[in-house]
Amino acid sequence: METVKVGIAGLGVAAQVVYLPLLARRRDLFRVAAVCDLDRGHAETIGREAGVPAYDDPLAMLDRGGFDALIVLTPGSHGLLVRAALERGLWVLCEKPLAYSRAELSGFSGERLMAGYMKQYDPASQRLLEALHEAGGPQVVRHLDATVLHPSEESQLLFARVRPGHPAPERLAPYAEADERALTAALGTSSERLRRLYAEVLLSSVCHELSLMRLFTGSPDTVDHVAVWPVEAFPPSLEVSGTLGGECSGRYGIRWHYLPSYPAYHETMALHHEHGSMELRFPSPYLLNTPTRLTITCRVGTTERTVVNEDVAEAFERQLRAFYRFVTLEEPPLTGLDGALEDIVTAQRIVHRYARWAGIPIGGECAQEVTGAPREATAGAVSSDAEEGGSGASGHAKASLSR
C-alpha cells in the first residue's frame, strides 16, 4: 500500500499520548515527515526521537513541505492553519474544534478536510448505528440521553508522563489574538465567562456529544433549555435539552459536569425507543484500546434480553485508517466541513439560548438564533470497514496542547 507522509502541528497531550504512538503502530499507512510546536526546544526533542525535521512555525513547516497531509493538534481555533494547509494542496485531519466562528470557514474548500471526532469511529458507536437501523431507524427514538462526568485532565493523565511545551509569550500572542477575534465574530463583546463556556466547554468537549447525536439522529431541531451552574465554578456544569432533528419526533438531554476530583472519566449516551434501549459507555479517551461498552436491551417473547458488545479496536486508530482511505481513495469521512459547521452552529444556538435566559448581552453570529437543524443531517451513514473485525468507518477532555 502507498504510505502517506504526514506533518504534525502541535506536540502536546494529543500528539504524545495518542497520535505519535498510533502513527508508529501504523507505519504501514503513514510516515511522520515533520513536526512542529511553538516551543522550539520541545519540537526539536520530539523531532530527534522521530528522526524528522522540527519547526517552531507551522507556516514555515507548510512552506518547506515534504509531506502530503497535515494532522492539526494545536489548541484553540484551527481555522487559519487549516486554511493555509488546504491552500497548499494538503489533505488535513483537524482535531476539534475546526473553528470558533462561521466567518473563519468562509470560502473554505472542504474537499480535502476531515474533522477529527474519534467517537464516531468507535466500533461500539458503529454497532449502535447498525442496531438503530435494525430497530427502525432514527425516527423510532423517543429520547437520546447523554451524561458526562469529567475529572481533571491531570488526573486522567497521571499514567502518561507527558512532557509539556513552554512556548514564549510572544510566540503565543498572535494565535491568542486570532482566537479572540474569532470569538468576537461569534459572540460579539460578550462576557469572558460566556466566551470560555463556548470555546472551552461546548466546542472543546460537548462537541463530541453533538457529533454522536449528528451521526445517530441528526443535529437537534430545537434548543429549548440551557442551564449552567454553579456561578462560582469554571468549568461549570451544563444542561441542554430540546427536540431531535431529521425524522425524529423525540427529545434529547445532555448533562456535562466538570468534577475535578471525580474518580474516573464517565460518559454515557443512551437511545430509548418503543422496543428497548441502546447505551454506550465510553472510557477515558487517553486509555488506548480500552473498549467502549455497548449494551442493547430488547424483549424476545416474554424475555428481557441484554446483549453487551465490547471491542478493543482503538477508535483513534480507526479514525486514522479512515483518514488514510480519504487521502488515498477519496472515501468521504464521517465528518467533513459541513458536519463540523453543523456542530459550530449548534454550539452557537446553545450559547444564544443561555445568554437570553441569563440576561447576558450577546452579539456577533450568535445574536440571531438559527431555528431548525442547521444543515442537512448526516444521520444513518454507516461506513464499511471490515479490517480487524470493524463494523464501520472523534480525547474528550479539553487538552492543554502546546502549539
Q: What percent of the chain has pLDDT over 70?
A: 91
pLDDT at residue number 368: 79
Q: In whole angstroms, give the CA distance from residue 216 to residue 312.
A: 22
Question: In this predicted structure, which of 107-121, 147-161, 295-309, 373-387 has the lowest mean pLDDT?
Answer: 373-387
pLDDT at residue number 371: 58
Residue 401 scores a pLDDT above 60: no
* Residue 283 in grid coordinates: 472510557
pLDDT at residue number 386: 37
Give the chain's count of helices (H) and strands (E): 12, 14
pLDDT at residue number 374: 54
> Which pLDDT band, with edges at 50, 70 and 90, does 176 fall under?
very high
Q: pLDDT tens digits for 263-314? A: 999 999 999 999 999 999 999 999 999 999 999 999 999 999 999 999 999 9
Tell me how far CA of residue 40 lies from CA of 36, 45, 67, in angstroms.
8, 9, 20
β-strand partners of 227: 239
Does the model's pTM come out above 0.85?
yes
pLDDT (average), residues 164-170: 95
Q: Residue 230: what are its φ and ψ, rounded to 5°?
A: -80, 160
Q: In whole angstroms, give the CA distance from residue 240 to residue 275.
A: 26
Q: Are 29 and 37 in contact (CB under 8 A)?
A: no
4-116 against 119-312+334-389: fold identical: no
Q: What's the CATH number of domain 119-312+334-389, 3.30.360.10, 3.40.718.10, 3.40.50.300, 3.40.50.10790?
A: 3.30.360.10
pLDDT (average), residues 393-397: 34
Average pLDDT, the chain: 91
Residue 392 scores a pLDDT above 60: no
Query: Strands of 91-95's sheet, edge to edge?
Result: 54-55, 30-36, 4-9, 69-72, 91-95, 113-116
pLDDT (average), residues 19-23: 98
Tell me how far CA of residue 365 lies from CA of 176, 185, 269, in angstroms.
20, 6, 30
pLDDT at residue number 189: 81
β-strand partners of 280: 269, 294
Nearest by Cα to 331 from 377, 375, 380, 385: 385
pLDDT at residue number 370: 63
Residue 384 scores a pLDDT above 50: no
User: What is the residue extent of each domain of the chain?
Assistant: 4-116, 119-312+334-389
Q: pLDDT tens digits for 110-127? A: 999 999 999 999 999 999
Q: pLDDT tens digits for 343-370? A: 999 999 999 999 999 999 999 999 976 6
- 385 versus 161: the higher-pLDDT residue is 161
pLDDT at residue number 353: 96
pLDDT (average), residues 72-95: 97
Within its chain, how far is the Cα of 400 from the centroid?
15
CATH number of 4-116: 3.40.50.720
Residue 19 scores a pLDDT above 80: yes
- 109 versus 309: the higher-pLDDT residue is 309
